[in-house]
Chains A and B, each alone.
Chain A
Amino acid sequence: MKQARAGYVFILPFLLIFFGVLVLPLGYAAYLSLYKEQLVGGVTFVGLDNYVEALSDPKLHAGVLRVAQFFLLQVPLMLVMSLFFALALDSGRLRMPKVFRLGIFVPYAVPSVIAALMWGYFYGRDFGPIGQAFSRLGATAPDLLGGDLILGSLANIVTWEFTGYNMIILFAALRAIPAELYEAAAVDGAGAWRIAWSIKIPAIRSAILLCVIFSVIGSFQLFNEPNLVQRLAPSSIDNAFTPNLYAYSLAFIGQELNYAAAVSFLLGVVIVAVSYLVLALTNRKPSS
């Protein structure tokens, strides 16, 4: 039992701060979510009313559907790119691999505040380079900040920011595969693509899964990019564009703190559910 005590001592510092900065605020928010505070009339206990209201809130439904759509659109694209880059780096067939590795990774180090500023320029219809290229060709530029394309434009920013991050995780995993595993295959005459497909990718399955789970969380909690781009596209990104943005505007613009807390918890439930769904789907595959 002496060992068990030592184990508690090791995890204690982490847990203490974890409790103070995460569990306690979450608990407080959960407590708040059971109340309703009005500008006129003060605070009343409403039980689960906020949750009931949120469950049938069309704005929240639309937001969840939108981030689900975002997830399905953006994540596969980003992860395929990350995987491709990681394999290319790992293959040893690339000249100047260090330049590529760093160059693709650098956007991750750029704060999203700045990323939104930079892409905002590129998306500008009148004076951005894309718009100018179109007008030089005598064509009308697509409105990258318009309602039809905004999800894609946001997906592009997120892809730009996080492809390198995922690439690095996958690349590190690839480096850890024992060479013997595929040297034999190479001797047998298997090409680089074949080795990648049937040896390397299965070997880093769990790393890929890790990236997918992170992406589930990132997509469903999408906030920074729409929040920052909203200024440039106020009519395409409304205040309930993503559930997290909705919770934010409820709390900070509408002073509906209690309802915002309920929305946040419901979103947490959705994310847990989707994560488990993803895990269940991917875990079933190899056995079938």
Chain B
Amino acid sequence: MSSTANQRQGRPSTVLTLAMLAFLIYFLLPLFWLVVASTKSTDDLFTTFGLWFGDSVDIVGNIRRTFTFNDGVYGRWLLNTLMYAVVSAGGAALLAALGGYGFAKYRFRGNGPLFGIVLGSIMVPTTALAIPTYLLFSKIGLVDTPWAIILPSLVSPFGLYLMRVYAADAVPDSILEAARIDGAGEARIFFRVVFRMLAPGFVTVLLFTLVATWNNYFLPLIMLNNPKYFPVTIGLTQWQALSANGGGGSTGDILPLVLTGSLLSIIPLIGAFLLLQRYWQSGLAAGGVKQ
């Protein structure tokens, strides 16, 4: 990486800080509503002012109800999401690292056009194509299995792009030449030498795929029928549906659980970003600056 400026110029400005504070409130206010709403009973939710606490402040009770409702299926959804996100993100990052490195450092016929096709593919919206995908997956028995969620998430065109740019920048050709002269095979060079250099880019792709999979909504909605495979977004949507339709069995009493469940589901993601922020910043920097 090129030398970055660690010492930035200027003294802290109160005016700028205050201006930014106003924006910060805008970005955090809806989340504050979510926190407040998670402490309320169904009745308070509909009868008290949304941006302040109601008569009963019972977030512990709501959390307990969230985790015990429907035989504790929420905990299962949370674990499913974790599994899908970690496996997909890890796999996607690895595939992108391999592919990005291949595209960046090897010359072969079709390099440019292939890369172009991959990037071009994100231009076609896949929403309405979910049914063709479903029909295909159903032919090979993937529907209603975790693979129906994981396989499509393994392909991250943005990740491939990022890794290609990153590899071109972070892996000097001279090191590859030296390793080849030493007689190392290409696979060995990648895993022993190159992979470490790609780490920040790898973590960046990992994190962005993690968010994408964590928040994945449409694909699992179509692909999964059995609630035991649901990720948390679909599970919560299903709970919410109980309060969003008329007919026998519908109820609004479940809304506090939907809100509490939503709040809880965001927390692990924020944790992951905080923990890994050193890496993804430098990873993104390369992808953003060079083309």
User: Within the complex, are A and B direct neighbours (CB within 8 Å)?
Assistant: yes
Would you give the shortest CB distance from B171 to chain A, in whole angstroms? 12
Interface residues of B in 120-163 (CB under 8 A from A): 120-133, 135-136, 151-152, 154-155, 157, 160
Chain B 1-43 against A: per-residue CB contact (8 Å), 1 yes, 0 no? 1111111111111101100100110111011011001000000
Chain B residues lying within 8 Å of A127, measured Cβ to Cβ, are 50
The listed residue (B12, B136, B214, B266) touching A28 by CB distance below 8 A is B136
Is B178 close to A, CB under 8 A?
A: no
Contact residues, A158-215 vs B (CB, 8 A): 160, 163-164, 168-173, 175-179, 182-183, 186, 192, 195, 203-204, 206-207, 209-210
Chain B residue nearest to A209 in the complex (CB): B291
Q: Determine if B229 is an interface residue (Cβ-Cβ < 8 Å).
A: no
Choice from A4, A106, A268 contacting B124 with Cβ under 8 Å: A268
Stretch at the interface among B58-66, B68-76, B95-103: B95-103
A111 in contact with B265 (CB, 8 Å):
yes
**A-B interface contact total, Cβ < 8 Å:** 302
Instruction: Give the CA-CA distance A127 to B182 in the complex, in Å.
Output: 72
Q: A179-B5, A179-B7, A244-B125 are in contact. Are A257 and B99 (CB under 8 A)?
A: no
- For chain A residues 1-38, which have a beta carbon within 8 Å of chain B? 3-11, 13-15, 17-18, 20-26, 28-29, 32
What is the size category of the interface that chain B forms with chain A? 35 or more
Q: Beta-carbon contacts of A121-144 to B below 8 Å, as 1s and 0s?
A: 110000111001000000000000
Of the candidates A7, A176, A267, the one whose C-beta lies within 8 Å of that of B285 is A176
CA distance in complex: A280, B135 (Å) = 39
CB atoms of B98 and A14 under 8 A apart = yes
Residue in B20, B132, B217, B244 whose beta carbon sits within 8 Å of that of A29 in the complex = B132
Q: A109–B288 contact, CB under 8 A?
A: no
Instruction: Give Cα A95–Cα B217 distance, bound, in whole angstroms.
Output: 37
Which residues, 207 to 246 on A, are CB-close (under 8 Å) to B?
A: 207, 209-210, 217, 221, 223-224, 231, 243-244
> Does the CB pair B127–A175 fall under 8 Å?
no
Question: In the docked arrangement, what's the CA distance between A4 and B106, Å?
Answer: 6
Contacts of A210 on B, CB cut-off 8 Å? 287-288, 291
CA distance A233 to B154 in the complex (A): 35
Smallest distance from the beta carbon of A8 to chain B beta carbons, Å?
Answer: 6
A13→B288 CA distance, assembly (Å) = 25
Let me know if B26 and A160 touch, CB within 8 A.
yes
Q: Measured between alpha carbons, how far is A221 from B28 in the docked complex, in Å?
A: 26
A192–B10 CB distance below 8 A? yes
Contact A244–B289 (Cβ < 8 Å): no
Query: When the two chains form their complex, are residues A14 and B4 in contact, meaning their CB atoms are under 8 A apart?
Result: no
A275 sits at the interface (CB 8 A): yes
Residue of A nearest to B8 (CB): A92
Partner-contacting stretch, out of A43-51, A97-105, A147-155: A97-105
> Of B8, B217, B282, which is within 8 A of A172 by CB?
B282
Bound CA span A32–B284, Å: 39
Question: Is there a chain A Cβ closer than 8 Å to B114's Cβ?
Answer: yes
Task: Provide the bound-state CA to CA distance between A6 and B283, in Å.
Answer: 25
Neighbouring A residues of B114 by C-beta, 8 Å: 11, 15
Residue of B whose beta carbon sits closest to that of A216: B123
Interface residue A110 (Cβ < 8 Å from any Cβ of B)? yes
Q: Does A94 contact B (CB under 8 A)?
A: yes
Q: What CA separation (Å) do A85 and B21 show in the bound complex?
A: 11
Q: Does residue A71 face the partner (Cβ distance < 8 Å to B)? A: no
A250 at the interface (CB under 8 A from B): yes
- Contact A251–B131 (Cβ < 8 Å): yes
| A231 adjacent to B244 (CB under 8 Å) | yes
Q: Evaluate contact between B1 and A20: CB separation under 8 angstroms.
A: no
A118 within 8 A of B: yes
Given A113-B262, A117-B259, A231-B244: 12 more A-B contacts, CB < 8 Å: A10-B98, A25-B129, A85-B20, A85-B23, A92-B12, A100-B20, A113-B237, A118-B33, A164-B27, A172-B283, A172-B285, A173-B288
